[in-house]
Amino acid sequence: MGEQRHVKFPQEVIDEYAALGVDLPAMFSAGHLGTRMGIEIKEASAERIVGTMPVEGNTQPYGLLHGGASAVLAETLGSIGSMLHGGSTKLAVGVDLNCTHHRGARSGLVTGVATPVHRGRSTATYEIVITDEQDKRVCTARLTCLLRDLPAA
């Protein structure tokens, strides 16, 4: 996944979570699956989340980026945005993921950019656009997360 120092959050968000004893960059390090796939979060706020993933190691038998790998990148980015939108009292749980694969990628890095479509009290929906190193669209995804109240500690 790379170094967590690459994750960028607004300072007020870091401070909010730090006051609760939560290391926000570690929390949003893309998790175990993201680590295995080489996902790196480059920028994160409720308004925009950017992450990269190598094509190498995430291909299907024809040597193209696996559609499931694109889905993992998309769900990771959209979930981070949903969690940041919900704040420290909510837990974001993905309930719908839709991916349209436009073209194949055989090498290099793909970059995903997630932006909100809807940010409500109980759900958040993000569009995630994944492009190759030539800025050609590889995949367009949409993720909706349910925002649940965290259980009392």
Beta bridge partner(s), residue 111: 52, 131
Look at phi and psi of residue 27 and say left if phi exceeds 0, alpha if psi is from -120 to 50, else beta.
Answer: alpha
Q: Is 70 exposed, middle or buried (0-12, 13-18, 19+ CB in 10 A)?
A: buried
Tokens of 112: 């995903």
Active site positions, annotated: 75
**Cβ atoms of 84 and 45 closer than 8 Å:** yes
Distance CA 105, CA 62 (A): 11
Instruction: Pick the closest to residue 112 from 14, 26, 38, 32 (CA basis).
Output: 38
